[in-house]
Every structure is written in structure tokens, then in C-alpha cells.
Structure 1
Amino acid sequence: MPSRFRLAKSARLGKARDRMGAKMRAADFAVSPKEAHPLRGRNPGETAGFRSKEEAREKLESDVRKLAQRQEVFFAARSFALLIILQGMDSSGKDSLIRHVLTGLNPQGVEVSSFRRPTEEEAAHDYLWRCARRLPERGKIGIFNRSYYEEVLVVRVHPGLLASEGLRRRAASPSFWSERYEDILAFERHLLRNETIIVKFFLHLSRREQAKRLLDRIDRPEKRWKFSLADIQERERWSDYQSAYEEMLAATSTREAPWYVLPADHKWFTQLAAAGILLERLVELPLRYPEPRPESEAELRRAKEILQRERDR
């Protein structure tokens, strides 16, 4: 049975059904620290009262415009970095979320990194190394399409992959996975203390919807390049993956860097929820444009005089 807490949280999302466009809050999607069974009671098909893509489009476009405006101040202030982490099963909509929510931002201040199977060089280092090299600097937004969390997800489901990291012997320890969670939490604490804001999205897709999307990839020639037989093989481990996700979400969601579980059966709603959460997180930051240096005031006045004289000739 779903917990009372989970039912209450699901009810909060459902209240919007009678009033289209009701305000959604980031907290409605957040996993509480140490929450037991964080996926139980969460509906991958939830749309919070929006009945169609068309109904949600206006709000999504508005939120993306506001995100772009806020990013301008974020980039100019250079007070914080923003790290966005996307995790989810194959075809859960990570790429389309990036395309529809984040490509409206100034590309000068955004960098997308996709992490696939480690290269030989990457496998020779600790598992955080390759991601640490791609962290955003202050003023910029880094998007990790998959991340170091793969090391407690796909590697958890396929522990044989640890052989390439030279860790097969250590992996036999009962504390191996809990130690990895501790490593990740310590890494994220370090980032937070150095003014990197971390927003972590788990795209919660149903098995049925994944099958539909994989069939669509097969049936549409322009999408076949995305398909791999490995996607079908991984579906056979669906339950193992869901268990790994639940344990990871419970172990690594913190007050400062919570996981947000986004319903992913409707891509348009996933995008809408992500845009709203990102906007809420950016708005709460104490951002402002840099104040000009005292000596700059005189320079600005002088430049203005020169330009006005040119204009008035």
C-alpha cells in the first residue's frame, strides 16, 4: 500500500485537475531524504490537470522565456554555477527535455555533456573523474545527460562492468554500494559549498510507455538510428533497474540537492514540470547584475559623450 505521505503528495498534484494551469511547486516532485520507496504511488502518467500538450504549451513557452531572462542575470552575476542532472530509462525523454526546455537559453552559458560507457582513459580513473572535468564554472549551466549516478544504476544491475574499473575484488564487500552513495553525497556537498546549485531530475517512465516509444523508433526510419537491441535486453532487467533507482533516490536525495521525480509518460508534461522547477530554483537565488566599478562611471560618461557627438553630427 502507498504510504500516507505518498498519497498526500500524489493528491497535491491531482488537485489541479479542476483548475487548468494551477501552480505546481518543485516540492510536489521532490523526494524526501531517506524516503522509503520513493517511486511507490507516483504515477508516470500524471499531468497535474493539464489534459493535452496544447493546453500546456502556453505555460511552457512562458516559463522558458522567464528562464532565459533569469539566465541572463545568472550569467552576468557569476555568483553560482548550476548543474542539472538527468537520469532515466532509455527513451524516457532526456534528449527532448534538453531540446524543448534548455535550448531557449543563451548557448554561451550552457554546456551539455552526455556520459556513455567509460572510455579506456576514463575507466583508468576514479568514476567521478570524467564528470568532474565537465562541471560548469560560475555563471554557467552544465547539463549532464546521465552522470556519475550510472555507477550505482547500470553498474549495480551489471556488476561485471566493475572489472573494467579494476574493482571486481572490492565490489565483493557488503558495504560497496553504500560507500558509493557516501562518495556521491560527499562530492555533491563539496560542490554545494562552492556555490554550485544541483538540480537532479529522474524521468519516471512506465514499462508500457517505453515499449510504445521503442516500437516508434523501429517503425519510423528517421528514428531507427536511436534504436539498439540492447534496449530490449535491458527491458528484461526492468525490475532490477526500478529497485536500483529507488535505492539510489532514497540514499542520495538531500534537502540541499533533492531528486525531483518527473512523470515521463507524456513528454510535454515532463518538460513543463522541469521548466517550472528550474525557474523556481533560479528565482530563489539572490542574483543581481554586477555594480559598475567607481572608475567605470567616468568611463561610461565619457563613452556616452563621444557616441552622442557622433550621432548628432
Structure 2
Amino acid sequence: MKNLTELFKVTDGGKFSLADYSTDYTGDYEKINAETILKELIEQISRKQTELYATNRQSLLIIFQAMDAAGKDSAIAHTMSGLNPQGCQVYSFKQPSAEELDHDFLWRHYKALPERGRIGIHNRSHYENVLVSKVHPEIVLNEKIPGINKIEDIDNELWKQRYKSIRHFEKHLTANGTIVIKFFLHLSKKEQKERFLKRIAKPDKNWKFAYGDIEERKRWDDYMEAYQQAIAETATDECPWYVLPADKKWFTRIAISTIVLETLTALKLQYPELPDDERANLQKAKAVLEAEKD
């Protein structure tokens, strides 16, 4: 059986179909062992993060996309819990501000990229511009794009150009040392219903629910079509998508952590070696410290 990284990886959209990917797959894993497995994965990721930070030549950008209630927030909280905050930054993208709308759709995402040596996590991302904006094309009108004054002006060419811009954007990042991995948490419509009902039933979860979520749920098929095309158009060897089953949160977290760890391991990171003069200075410093009187 393929390992989790290969099992869920999409690098060529030519034959991609969401229907080929399960929402409740757990393989040979069992929930009873999930906590132990996840703890070990988190510890290993933490060590790799330190190597990434020390090397200071590459960065890692992790993108999370999903329907509401798919578990993005909790997945980030659990799988990244072992990271050193000094080497990690998380951005959650909401509706663009007036300032952001006065720039191209990628501008605010450029600003949020991780520096060398750091891990950046984007909760939603530049893909919103070919997902929610495609389901609700009226949003595009707020961008004040020349020649687009009404919904009828928004045609397939605009979306083709956006997919192309995203591919070029991610290729540019990769060429300059940013590793990009993209997670789509593939939730079933049935499971989303159950999670919505739990949010309504529990007072401490009410804040996570809005009636607008029900209105968006009515567009489920439109969103699935938008996700399928976005993944198909932007999955590449350099910047793959991972379509992860999201009905079982415990398994989703194991899959995410496994893929992040294997991605970092593949970089073959090593702590930088000091030049001879710096090594000599270390020994001098050691001698000075040992000679001190308590």
C-alpha cells in the first residue's frame, strides 16, 4: 500500500476527480492509537523545524483549504502544537480590506509569506479567489478590474488567467526556496451536517456557527466543482495538492503531520557547520568560562 504522502498526493490534474477520493478513509490506523502516533510525529516535526530555522535557506508554506466545519482550525492547532512560535506564523484570511482590494488578488498573500527558515501556515489562501469568488462572482466586481463592470463581463478567460497566475506565483516561490504544500480537507456533506448540528447544540460552540453557513451549504455542488477545477489546474510536481479525508479528524491530523514531516525530511536539512575561526572562538569561549571563579 502507498504511504500517506503518495496516497493523497495530486501532481497532475489531467485525470483528477474528487469522486476518486474518500472522505472517511483511515487505512490500517485505529483511533485508539491516534494520540500516540500524533505525539511522535509532532516531536519529529519540531526537531525538523529547528533544523530549518538554523539552516535559514528555505521556508515552508502550508496551505489549508476546506468547506466550513472540515476541521482546519483544529487540525492546525493539533498538528502544529509542537512548533516553536519564533519560527512559525499563521495567517487566517478573511474578506479583503479596502486597501487589499486596491491591489491585485495575490498582493495580500505575498505579504504573508514566511521568511527563510520559517514555516508559514495559511488558513484559507489565494485559492479563495478561484473558489468562493467563482461560486459568488459578484465578489470580483469589488476588485475594480478594468473591463469588468458587471457579472456578465466575468468569463472563463478570467478564471484561466487566475489559475495561470497562481501556478506562476507558486513556481516563483519554489524557485526562490519556499516549499509549498497544499491541503484540501475533503469533508462529506453528511459529516458537515452533523458538525453543524453539534455547533448549534453546544453553547460554547455557537460562536463558530452563522446562518450564512446554511446558505453556503446550499451551494455545495458548486463548491465541489470549483475545488475540483482549482486542484486540477494548479497541482504540479513542485507544488502538489493533498486531498485528505476529513470525516475522521483524528486520521486527518495524522495524515497532515506525516506529510509535513516527510516534506521536511526530504529537504535533507543539516545544522550549519561553523568555519574554522568560529570553532576556534568556541574553544576560547569555553576556556574563559571554565576559568571563571564562582
CA shift for structure 1 position 124: 1.1
**Secondary structure, in 3 states, of the residue corresponding to 1:35?**
helix
Within 5 Å, which residues of 2 pair with 1:117-266?
A: 117-167=95-145, 168-169=148-149, 171-266=153-248
CA contact (8 A) 1:87 1:94 kept: yes
**Counterpart residue number, 1:17:** none
Amino acid in structure 1 at the alignment position of 2:170 = E
Q: Find the aligned partners of 2:198 and 2:142 in 1 and give their Cα distance.
A: 34
CA shift for structure 1 position 301: 1.0
Q: Find the aligned partners of 1:201 and 1:155 in 2 and give their Cα distance.
A: 19
Q: Find the aligned partners of 2:154 and 2:212 in 1 and give their Cα distance.
A: 26
**Counterpart residue number, 2:75:** 97
CA contact (8 A) 2:196 2:209 kept: yes
**Counterpart residue number, 1:51:** 30
Unpaired runs of 5+ residues, structure 2, are none
Amino acid in structure 2 at the alignment position of 1:166 = K
Q: Find the aligned partners of 1:194 and 1:291 in 2 and give their Cα distance.
A: 23
Is 2:84 aligned against 1:106?
A: yes
**Counterpart residue number, 1:31:** 10
Q: Find the aligned partners of 2:11 and 2:181 in 1 and give their Cα distance.
A: 14
Cα deviation per residue 1:55-93 (whole Å; 9 max; x = unaligned)?
A: 222111111100001111111001101000000001111
CA shift for structure 1 position 37: 3.9
Q: Find the aligned partners of 1:278 and 1:38 in 2 and give their Cα distance.
A: 24
Within 5 Å, which residues of 2 pair with 1:67-106?
A: 67-106=45-84
Higher RCO (CA-CA < 8 Å; seq separation 6+): 2
Cα deviation per residue 1:111-147 (whole Å; 9 max; x = unaligned)?
A: 0000011011111110000010010011000000000
Amino acid in structure 2 at the alignment position of 1:216 = K
CA contact (8 A) 1:70 1:283 kept: yes
**Counterpart residue number, 1:295:** 277
Unpaired runs of 5+ residues, structure 1, are 1-11, 14-23
Question: TM-score, normalization: structure 1?
Answer: 0.90
Q: Find the aligned partners of 1:230 and 1:47 in 2 and give their Cα distance.
A: 31
CA contact (8 A) 1:92 1:205 kept: yes
Cα deviation per residue 1:161-205 (whole Å; 9 max; x = unaligned)?
A: 011111334953331111100000000111000010001000000
CA contact (8 A) 1:79 1:287 kept: no
CA contact (8 A) 1:31 1:38 kept: no
**Secondary structure, in 3 states, of the residue corresponding to 2:272?**
coil
Q: Find the aligned partners of 2:155 and 2:17 in 1 and give their Cα distance.
A: 26
Q: Find the aligned partners of 1:231 and 1:49 in 2 and give their Cα distance.
A: 34
CA shift for structure 1 position 230: 1.0
CA contact (8 A) 2:62 2:120 kept: yes
CA shift for structure 1 position 287: 1.2
Amino acid in structure 1 at the alignment position of 2:201 = D
Q: Find the aligned partners of 2:241 and 2:149 in 1 and give their Cα distance.
A: 31
**Counterpart residue number, 2:42:** 64
Q: Percent identical across equivalent pairs?
A: 44
Q: Find the aligned partners of 2:241 and 2:176 in 1 and give their Cα distance.
A: 20
Match 1:275 to one of 245, 257, 278: 257
Which deviates the most, 231-240 or 217-226?
217-226
**Secondary structure, in 3 states, of the residue corresponding to 1:211?**
helix
CA shift for structure 1 position 300: 0.8
